[in-house]
Structure 1
Amino acid sequence: MDPLTIRLNTTFLRSRVPNLTVAAKNAGLRPATVSNLCTGKIPLGRAEIRTIVLLAKLANCSVDDLIIIEDYSKKIETGIKTIDLFAPLVLNSTVGLIARPDMGQLALLAEVFHRLKNNSFKTITLTPKQEDPGLKDLLHESDYIAAGFEEIAVLLSDEWKNKNILLVVDRAHVISGELGDFNQNLQLKEVLSLTTFLMDLSGEAPDEDLPFGPLDTIWQFDAELVAQKYYPAIHPLFSISESYPLDKKQNRLQQDARKTLRRYRELRALYAIRGYEKMSKKEKNDFTRGQKLEAYLTQPFFIAEPYTGQKGCFVKIVALFNDINKILTEDLAELEASSLLYKGDLDTVV
């Protein structure tokens, strides 16, 4: 598949023009051509501009609404629901993890390494300047544990040339300026991609405005989720990715999910004061929907299987956004929030 692909937004088009074949013919288009564009037999890039313009006119929308741009050179699907929804991972980006100790940042990094290292990625951890018991799983999932940046530079220019690299660096190496010097001297042409994760073992990052400097993605951890033992404890409101290519539907669902969880957090305070019965019907509905969404975003990890006895799960992005849409728009009265805890997609919920 090409790194950059454009395709027709067939679902949107058919929803706007139900009897598409007849409408296309009446507009002067060949039905076979429109059908082949919808099925992908004719690449959108080969379509005449006149055809796309007429289809947009039939759908009463802009040409941009009919075109989906998929940048496969950037997307990294982790299968971790809360990441792929709120702060997705992008090739060649820098990700900052903002967390206090024991909030699960090391477990999350180890899980990301576990999921991606057999998917054409090589994983490296630069030995932190301080020790932490939680490093065990991360180091176990690392293909290489480097003592310094010099080792990494040699590795990338020799044995791992032309590889996709995932690198974990502690904040202490950022403050010292070592990471900046490494990035400045690195010849990126030596690797296919270098995606860097910046962690903080000191726990000071949440107290700083820019603890790591400029970032492409922020994974901020949430004390409320940790207190409830809801993992991964990624904050749904403050974890963001600036450069991830979401299509319009996914972007809308992401924003609606944030609004739902923001409102749920407000209602929890009212619930504690007034009780559930004194809430209005709309408040009850908003509360229940947010409660289910928050529970759904928990997930069992593969690396935790020996400790929890529960199998890890990978949730595909398509299933994730379909589930989010169901939780936000359908009643799902038969599902209790507790039944969604530490499950995969909704199809796995009994």
Structure 2
Amino acid sequence: TTNLSRSISERGIYPAVDPLASTSRILDPAIVGQEHYSIAERVKQVLQRYKDLQDIIAILGIDELNDEDKQIVGRARRIEKFLSQPFHVAEQFTGRPGKYVKLEDTIRSFKEVIDGKHDGLPEQAFYMQGSIDDVLEAAEKMKAK
């Protein structure tokens, strides 16, 4: 089932799918393969930990988190932005060209994010990008400005 979230939509992330509340019967290692399954589960774990930290962040602020939790928050925010998708059918509304991304590139991209390979990139570089290569290009453009 696909669950849409008003709070995700309010942050400008489209499609506003809640990955923690959504489920799939085919997200099974026997069907999608072990790597795909493992990466998806790790992404959900990072997002769940970030969700669990929301009250602490709201009350005490992010500076009161330990280094590991700060790292998780940064990765979760990048993941949330990276879950935005530039659709071909939405191009007339967003002004952004749609992108097709191969499944292998998507899995590789999320693996690199959760492994921390791109912790130094600005969160906004992940918004409405296709693959991690697009993110790197966007980050370079941001750096040049």
Is TM more than 0.5 here?
yes
Residue in structure 2 matching 1:229, options 1, 8, 12:
12
What is the total number of aligned residue pairs between the two structures?
A: 133
Q: Secondary structure at the match of 1:257?
A: helix
Counterpart residue type for residue 268 of structure 1: Q
Unaligned runs of 5+ in 2: 138-145
| Partner deviation per Cα, 1:128-151 (whole Å, 9 max, x = no partner) | xxxxxxxxxxxxxxxxxxxxxxxx
Do structure 1's residue 316 and structure 2's residue 102 form an aligned pair? yes
In structure 2, the partner of 1:220 is 3
- For the pair shown, which has the larger CA radius of gyration, 1 or 2? 1
Matched, 1:340 2:126: yes
RMSD, aligned CA: 1.3
- Indicate yes or no: 2:29 matched with 1:243: no
Structure 1 runs not aligned, ≥5 long: 1-217
The CA distance in 2 between the partners of 1:248 and 1:301, in whole Å, is 28
Task: From the superposition, tell whether residues 288 and 312 of structure 1 become closer, same or farther in structure 2 (CA, over 3 Å).
Answer: same
Distance 1:224 1:268 in 2: 13
Residues 75 and 119, structure 2, Cα contact 8 Å, conserved in 1:
no
Residue 268 of structure 1 contacts residue 287 of structure 1 at CA under 8 Å; is this kept in 2?
no
1:327 Cα deviation after fit = 0.6
Give the structure-2-normalised TM-score.
Answer: 0.86
Q: Which of the residues 327, 339, 342 maps onto 2:113? A: 327
User: 1:269: Cα distance to partner?
Assistant: 2.5
CA distance in 1, matches of 2:69, 2:83: 21
Give 1:333 deviation, angstroms.
3.0
Q: Which has the higher contact order (CA 8 A, sep 6+)?
A: 2
CA distance in 2, matches of 1:249, 1:304: 30
Deviations along 1:270-323, whole A, 9 cap, x unmatched? 211111211111110111111111111101111121222110111110000001
Are positions 1:299 and 2:85 aligned together? yes
Structure 1 residue identity aligned to 2:17: I
Written as runs of structure 1 = structure 2, the 5 A alignment for 1:78-93 is none
CA distance in structure 2 between the aligned counterparts of 1:277 and 1:256, rounded to whole angstroms? 24
Distance 1:336 1:267 in 2: 21
Matches of 1:306 and 1:226, distance apart in 2: 18
Looking at secondary structure, tell me which structure has more helix per residue.
2
Cα distance in 1 between the residues matched to 2:78 and 2:98: 20
The answer to whether structure 1 residue 268 and structure 2 residue 54 are counterparts is: yes
Deviation at 1:225, TM superposition (A): 0.5
AA aligned opposite 2:119: A
1:98-155 Cα deviation digits (max 9, x unpaired): xxxxxxxxxxxxxxxxxxxxxxxxxxxxxxxxxxxxxxxxxxxxxxxxxxxxxxxxxx
After TM superposition, the structure 1 = structure 2 runs for residues 72-151 of structure 1, keeping only pairs within 5 Å, are none
Matched, 1:258 2:44: yes
CA distance in 2, matches of 1:301, 1:257: 22
Deviation at 1:331, TM superposition (A): 3.8
Query: Which has the larger share of strand?
Result: 1
Looking at structure 1, the residues matched to 41 and 93 of structure 2 have their Cα atoms a distance apart, in angstroms, of 35
CA contact (8 A) 2:109 2:132 kept: yes
- 2:142 aligned partner: none
SS of residue in 1 equivalent to 2:85: coil
Conserved? CA contact 1:257–1:324, under 8 Å: yes
Query: Aligned partners of 1:314, 1:259: CA distance in 2, in Å?
Result: 26
Matches within 5 A, 1:44-83: none
2:74 paired residue among 288, 291, 303? 288
SS in structure 1 at match of 2:2: strand
Q: CA-to-partner distance for each residue in 1:20-52, whole Å, 9 max, x for gaps?
A: xxxxxxxxxxxxxxxxxxxxxxxxxxxxxxxxx
For 1:276 and 1:328, locate their aligned partners in 2 and report how far apart those are by CA, in whole Å. Answer: 19
- Aligned AA for 1:252? S
